[in-house]
Structure 1
Amino acid sequence: MNYPQCLICHKTVGWTGLVVNIGLSLLKLFVGFISGSQALMIDALYSAKDVLTSFLILLGLKYSKKPIDEEHQFGHGKAEFLFSLVVGLSMIVITGMFIYFEADKLLSGAMMQHKAPHMIALWTSLFVVGANLYMWYYTRCVAQQVNSPIVAILSDHQKSDAISSMAVALGIIGSHYLNMPWLDTLVAVGECLDLFHLGVKISWEALQGLMDVSAPQETIHKVKELTRTIPGVTSVESVLTRRVGQDIWVTLVIGVDPEITIERGKEISLWVEERLVEGIPHLGEVSVHFKSASGSLPELQMMENELAEMRQRFARRIETDSPDLGVV
């Protein structure tokens, strides 16, 4: 984290999002109902999903930070992906139902008989745009500092909420000044389609996280660059990464001079680990192994190879000292 206040924001972002989005959701639902704006009422779903996301952040951030135990020897980091999947699937189901009902209204022509929404809906939607832009900036900052997938989802939601509310405002303006009262319902259908698409995207990203998706290519490239700066590293043989909640786990195999001792190889590995911890943000578990640059054997097999050579030398010495005894 770059700033001391980031720790405070990390702990309070869930509660802040929960309170703000409950207020925005109730405001849009109430004004949408009294003004006759279908789009503003559907827009309340955007804030409602953020309420659910904020609630899951409170659970996810708390549960994912639990220490390693006997039943969860790799930690609880994947809890955030699991909670993200719940958000995505909930959005798919709810918005799928609204798409059906709103599209039916639009295609049946029933909205052609309705009046344009009251102008109070326009002022409410503009106020909501400003509130969501502020929340987007705030949650994006927190997500970047703590590298939290579920806080990043909340940030994306706040941005989409601002865009949705702006579309509501444009729809209301069109309903009044273009004499197109059905435009409000058309915006509502568009909002539902956008929410459905967002739900699919969130679900897919959560599934990838649960399936040990690798770190971004730029992170892998940086791991290789930092490793090559360590004296004694002759090559980077392999880099394996995976996302575990907010952290990135790395398993690295480096190549070293085949003439050095095992102790020297272990020392070089420790240097690599220290450099990666210092240079890669949000790094969780790091495991560095070494092997001969010629591609002979990993460190454990190198030890076995040395033991085998010792046995051979010992056997030859016995044959030399006692030729009549032989060696079994």
Structure 2
Amino acid sequence: MAPTRLERGLRATFLGMVANILLAAAKLVAGIVGHSHALVADAVESLADLFSSVIVWRGLVVAAEPADEDHPYGHGKAEPIAAAVVSTMLLLAAAGITFQAAREILQPHHAPSGYTLVVLILAVAAKESLFRVVLREGIRVESSAVRTDAWHHRSDAITSLAAGIGISVSLLGGKGYEAADDVAAIMAAGIIAWNGGRLLRPALNELMDASPDPAIAERIRHIAATTPGVARVEKCIVRKMGYHFFVDMHVEVDPQMTVQHAHEIAHVVKDLVRGELPTVRDVLVHIEPAGEQSGVRSAALVAHVSKRGASATESSSSPSSSSSS
């Protein structure tokens, strides 16, 4: 049996958690013993990755919980919340790395040992591979949290690469170049901050019910418009909650159609959309009269209301006029 979207997302997140534990331990020990502040900072970044993976894991589990009395639309918002938290952690990690590296530049310290470079090369290879695997799964299951977790792995790889460049300069330059790894760490922090800001925006957009990919709404609109009995799709609004989409649409039908028939068409539209797009959780279809008849009826209604308003005014003024006579 093929794994579900939740299982795929959790599996990718668990893989990242295991990798972060091993990499953080290796880099922390090598950084302390090998006198590399950049490698220690990189180990801290890996620990932040581990913590973010735990947040994503929990967010995915909560987002998959069914709707209940307190959450009639489900718990899908837990996923973008997790993505927003992880993105914020990226920004905080960048600030922390910058502060630590800037402080180390001003203080004399030993040049890093050569074997720390080997550790970083292995870390970059592992993290880049992990990024590609997790990102592929995040795109496949359409999970903003898993995609954000993947980019967190890429940010860790960038930090490791920058630390490796700094260590290489320190080793090749010799005395006077000890701070090269700290400068490289600051440069990597800038890239991490950029990634954090870039990933925070879509998470916030999803929390604010921003429109998803326009192609999704267009496909839903096409399905509804080609349904027998539908004259026109007047409005189609789509919002994303976790793994699923919720649709609100207004469709026009023959104004002479019975309520029963219009109700049946609305159900057909709903079933067709959910049948062709399994990620759509619910479709709310509002029926409206189509064609010129609706305009005529609206005008007649306005005229009727205006006439009743005028009659009411005349009625209210008639007693005074009769009394004056």
TM-score greater than 0.5 by the shorter chain = yes
Among candidates 132, 135, 141, match of residue 140 of structure 1:
135
Q: CA deviation at 1:237?
A: 0.8
Counterpart Cα distance in 2 of 1:46 and 1:192? 10
Quick one: structure 1 residues 254 and 103, their matched pair in 2 at CA, closer, same or farther if it must change by over 3 Å?
same
Alignment of 1:1-328 (within 5 A): 4-5=2-3, 8-106=7-105, 108=106, 110=107, 114-115=110-111, 117-178=112-173, 180-280=177-277, 282-294=279-291
Counterpart Cα distance in 2 of 1:137 and 1:260? 54
- Matched to 1:122, the amino acid is L
Counterpart Cα distance in 1 of 2:247 and 2:76? 15
Structure 2 contact 49–152 (Cα < 8 Å) conserved: yes
**TM-score (norm: length of structure 2):** 0.80
Quick one: structure 1 residues 61 and 296, their matched pair in 2 at CA, closer, same or farther if it must change by over 3 Å?
farther
Q: CA deviation at 1:25?
A: 1.3
- Matched to 2:18, the amino acid is V
Structure 2: 5+ residue stretches without partners: 302-325
Quick one: structure 1 residues 94 and 257, their matched pair in 2 at CA, closer, same or farther if it must change by over 3 Å?
same
Q: CA deviation at 1:6?
A: 5.3
Alignment partner of 2:238: what SS? strand
Q: Could you say what the CA RMSD is over the residues aligned between the two structures, in angstroms?
A: 2.9
- Matched to 2:217, the amino acid is I
Structure 1 contact 212–243 (Cα < 8 Å) conserved: yes
Counterpart Cα distance in 1 of 2:46 and 2:281? 33
Counterpart Cα distance in 2 of 1:281 and 1:182? 54
Structure 1 contact 42–192 (Cα < 8 Å) conserved: no
Counterpart Cα distance in 2 of 1:176 and 1:15? 36
**TM-score (norm: length of structure 1):** 0.79
Structure 1 contact 60–80 (Cα < 8 Å) conserved: yes
Q: Aligned residues: percent identity?
A: 27
Structure 1 contact 42–191 (Cα < 8 Å) conserved: no
Structure 1 contact 80–150 (Cα < 8 Å) conserved: yes
Q: How many residues align structurally?
A: 296
Structure 1 contact 6–142 (Cα < 8 Å) conserved: no
Structure 2 contact 81–203 (Cα < 8 Å) conserved: yes
